[in-house]
Structure 1
Amino acid sequence: MPSYLYFFFAAAVLIVGYTIYSRVIDKIFGPDPNNPTPATTMADGVDFVKMPPLKLFLIQLLNIAGIGPIFGPILGALYGPWALVWIVAGSIFAGGVHDYFSGMLSARSGGRSIPDVVGENLGYFFKQFMRVFSVVLLLLVGVVFVTAPAGMLTSLSNEFLTNLFNLPAETAAKTVMLGWVVVIFLYYFLATLLPIDKIIGPIYPIFAIILLIMAVGVLGGLIVKGYEFYPGAAFVNQHPKGIPLWPLMFVTIACGALSGFHATQSPMVARCIPDEKCGRSVFYGAMIAEGLIALIWATAGMTFFYSPENGTSAVQGLFNFLAANNDNPGAFVNHISIALLGPIGGILAILGVVVLPITSGDTAFRAARLTIADTVGLSQKKNINRLFVAIPLFAVGIALTNVDFTIIWRYFGFANQALATVVLWTAAAYVVRTGSKLHWLISIPATFMTSVCMAFIAYSPIGFGLSFDYASKVGIGGAIAALVIFLLFGNKFRANPVKKPKPTSQEF
């Protein structure tokens, strides 16, 4: 049997899982096609703009994806085929559920941002915590996706501009870097302020299609050029440095399996869906599409560098390549794209490692604007009100570009999955509030991710640095405690049954 059929088996499980399980989740939520969505009841021509489902699917895919389902799975491939299992199972039972509920609960509550959705279901404390937590997280994403693509663009254009203006190399590098930072910030500012159908609406579907073409092209190149898929794969931890698979792999591979960042993006699209019935394909469907992309890149990582003549396994070859390139997955994207697809691959690689992070940064700033506006109750229909929020937001963002993010950014993986865990508990609480006993389909993934997050922060050097055994006990004990508390609060949730949608700040 051709080895690539293993990939198609995993992809088929992902698609069948969507076909069956997303309908189960959809039925639990109970979408009502007659229930008017915020795009209808609160249309403002800026953030609440009705769009067709296919366009929204592509916008949502790029909103939640960017480079996430590329870089994370490449690094996750170092753990071996367990990465594929997590991508498939995570996308179906955790990521798809998380994205669906974060989008649909926002739509049901008048398009509110995720902190208000969490607060409505888990209470005032979580609401206030999430308001601060999500804005900080979005600012980190936005700023890093200014400096990172600016650095890549500088390396691509520095030599040309140095010769053009006859500048010393060091001076030119700083000048070019500053220039790209300014250009990207200007674009982010426009994308944050302008109506969603003016920039994001027209260009995001195009780049989402490019993201898909890039992934399919890499897969096709591996097949056409006769690569053996997953050589030497075994269901053991294959990481060359012996880094524990649990809980670290579940934090390394976030986008492509489960990512809290998605919950900050879904409300933007929730404000644009034409009816509730399209939520399954838009929110859950985009997560599954991202899972397929992640599956391809994890497969590439476990396949491309196999060298039997040198006695080098594919995973070891990937590890050696990353070590020689400062652990930068972007270098792998560039290398494999050109090797498999030639000049076209080079163009796709540039788009992948430069343009795609930019499409995450702009929506991060936009989501931060919406979250802050919802917090202070300020309508965003008028230009002056959007400027009132955006100007100080970008002032902070610009200031943060001068900060060394090396240490702070190490916490992003943990913060991202902690956010996903809170949103899963929120969805479980909502289901209890509807009177359904099927919260287990959500509270079990929430319990698992609670264990992952607590074990990670207990074990990691950025946390408490405990031994693996102690960290595992902390993770398991913390997860059990969280589930017990959730079940004890069941009566409190049921005492606050689901109510009709409330207006957002846009109606104040």
Structure 2
Amino acid sequence: MNSFVLLLISAIVFFIAYVTYGAYLSKKWGIDPSRKTPAHTINDGVDYVPAKAPVLLGHHFSSIAGAGPIVGPISAAIFGWVPVFLWIIVGSIFFGGVHDMGALFASVRHEGKSLGEVIGVTVGKNGKKLFAIFAWLTLLLVVAAFANIVADTFVSVPEAATASVLFIAVAIVFGFFVYRRGVSLGIGSVIGVALLLLSIYLGTLFPLQLGKTAWLFILLAYIFIASVTPVWILLQPRDYLNSFLLYAMLIGGFIGVIFMRPTLQLAPVTSFTIGKATLFPMLFVTVACGAISGFHSLVGSGTTAKQVDNEKDVRLIGYGSMLIEGILAVLAIVTAGYIAGDKLTELLNNGGPVNVFSSGVGNFMTSFGLPFATGKSFVALAISAFALTSLDTATRLARFIFQEFFDTSGEGQPSPMTNRYVSTLITVALGGGLAFKGWQSIWPLFGSANQLLAALALLALGIWLKKSGREYKMAIIPMVFMFAVTLVALIQLMIANLGNILLLLLSVALFILAIVLIIQSQKAFKEIDSVAKE
């Protein structure tokens, strides 16, 4: 199979889906451009800050992408490229796109608060508390997994480490001048991108070489600071500038595939069972962010919903970002399919899926004259930038959820746990503790918890849509499938981790929380039906 044909098919299908199904969702859910968003009605200058659509698209996409759509599809390639490709296409359009756009829209209609708050309104206070616990535990796994991925990338490609550090400084300067000194977004973007390219060049001259343990401690300190600072200082500007990295990487990879037209060497389909892994449910758990991810609902209903300038932007940011991520996931499976064989195994053993992707896309870029080393370093920088974005966004989201859980507004003295410094410190400490176990041991549990969170988000969305009199079946059908996938996967993980007490306890806790939430949600559905009959 020719890689270019595969990429072209996915791009055309995703564009048609955005124009048709995305518009259908907007109409059925009643998106209203004339309605003021929480970014305007609350606007606190810290978390609630209106952002122009291109800026927010950059933040949201950079936050949800991370390394997930690269690590997931390449890891799932053991089942062959056909099942992975089909799930990316179907999942992005009918599962992930609905999930992401719905979570963002529901949050915008609930003062930019998390899905836990939406569940509190539709299911009840206990449901809200249980969902908050589940989401917070999942975010600890996100922090642990992505801290490892970034640290590994910095160790294997020290040029990316230097560039990333310099890029953070560039983003702070960009944010200050654009948001506090009135520099236009266009001029700021040109200068910001130029400084970004300079950062990449300086990275090649002065690679920052540190051990993995040192990088983990540095990253944990960084995400603590990034989580408590106002979004305009770092989050918005860095994520916006990050988006240019992504677009350049995607365009470079796409053009490279056009020129090179590599043939996929990986088998279309291998076997239903590979080792101890079975295609169902592990394919749908492993691909994760490349098709649907519960983490996306936390981003949409966490940082993104607080920055939406106009409801008309919800389709572009929610649904559109998922489809772009689908393209990235297809490019990832193309790199694995092109390399294949012993070379694929060698790259996986020395740097993991990120090394596979960086090498593959870097090789594609040689077709239009870019040196392999430069292309590989650029791709590694882009991936580490996305993973770093997901890392500090996850920390901020965990802080939001932690604060909401202990929020006793109107019920007496505020709890010290609602303090953003205290809640962030607890999150970073626990997530950091898990991080030192390594991403390989965390990723299977993260994948299951993440996809189960997606099922719960779709459940919350379905209840809210039904209760508010909107069409809701587009959320219920994918929800049922995701519950079937993830509950089976968690049972398999419990059996596989009988000797690992920590991961076993986390698996059991997530499974029990999910079952209790399902039972409570069923009661909520019945109450809605009984009220409708009356």
State the TM-score, normalized to the length of structure 2. 0.76
* Contact 1:105–1:117 (Cα < 8 Å) also in 2: yes
Separation in 2, partners of 1:143, 1:119: 28
Deviation at 1:493, TM superposition (A): 2.5
**Match of 2:474?**
441
1:138–1:364 Cα contact (<8 Å) kept: yes
- Give the structure 1 partner of residue 507 of structure 2: none
1:134: Cα distance to partner?
A: 1.2
5 Å-filtered alignment, 1:343-422, equals 343-377=373-407, 385-402=419-436, 407-422=441-456
Of 278, 281, 284 in structure 1, the residue corresponding to residue 319 of structure 2 is: 284
Which residue pairs with 2:196 in the alignment? none
Structure 2: distance between partners of 1:49 and 1:494 = 38
Note if contact 2:158-2:209 (Cα within 8 Å) is conserved in structure 1.
no
Amino acid across the alignment from 2:84: A
Q: Does residue 1:54 correspond to 2:30, yes or no?
A: no
Aligned residues: 455
Larger mean Cα displacement after TM superposition, 442-451 or 344-353: 344-353
Change (3 A) 1:354 1:490: closer
Alignment of 1:340 onto 2:364: yes
Cα separation, partners in 2 of 1:51 and 1:119, compared to 1, 3 Å: same
Matches within 5 A, 1:206-221: 206-221=241-256
Match of 1:503 in 2: none
Number of the residue aligned with 2:125: 124
Structure 2 partner of 1:310: none
1:294 lines up with 2:310 in the alignment: no
**Deviation of 1:335 (Å):** 2.2
Unaligned runs of 5+ in 2: 163-207, 366-371, 499-513
Q: Does 1:69 align with 2:69?
A: yes
CA distance in 1, matches of 2:44, 2:348: 50
- How do residues 45-444 of structure 1 correspond to structure 2 at under 5 angstroms? 45-79=45-79, 80-157=81-158, 176-228=211-263, 230=264, 234=268, 237=271, 243-266=277-300, 267-302=302-337, 304-305=338-339, 314=340, 316=341, 320-321=345-346, 324-325=349-350, 328-341=352-365, 342-377=372-407, 385-402=419-436, 407-436=441-470, 438-444=471-477
Distance apart, 1:485 and its partner CA = 9.6
C-alpha distance in 1 between matches for 2:5 and 2:93: 20
Alpha-carbon distance between aligned partners in 1 of 2:266 and 2:219, rounded to the nearest angstrom: 43
Q: Is contact 2:49-2:306 (8 Å) kept? A: yes
Deviations 1:391-436 (A, max 9, x none): 3333434444455676554311110110000111111112211234
Q: Which amino acid aligns with 2:220?
A: F
Change (3 A) 1:149 1:236: closer
**What amino acid does structure 1 have at the position aligned with 2:297?**
A
8 Å contact from structure 1 (residues 67, 356) kept in 2: yes
Greater mean deviation of Cα atoms: 248-257 or 29-38: 29-38
Alpha-carbon distance in structure 2 between the residues aligned to 1:232 and 1:270:
40
> Aligned-pair distance for 1:246?
1.9
Unaligned runs of 5+ residues in structure 1 are 162-172, 306-313, 466-478, 498-508
Q: Measure how far apart 1:15 and its partner are.
A: 1.5
Kept after mapping to 1: 8 A contact 2:62/2:389: yes
Give secondary structure in 2 for the equivalent of 1:247.
Answer: helix
Task: Show the counterpart of 1:500.
Answer: none
- Cα-Cα RMSD: 3.4
Give 1:105 deviation, angstroms.
0.8
2:485 corresponds, among 438, 443, 452, to 452
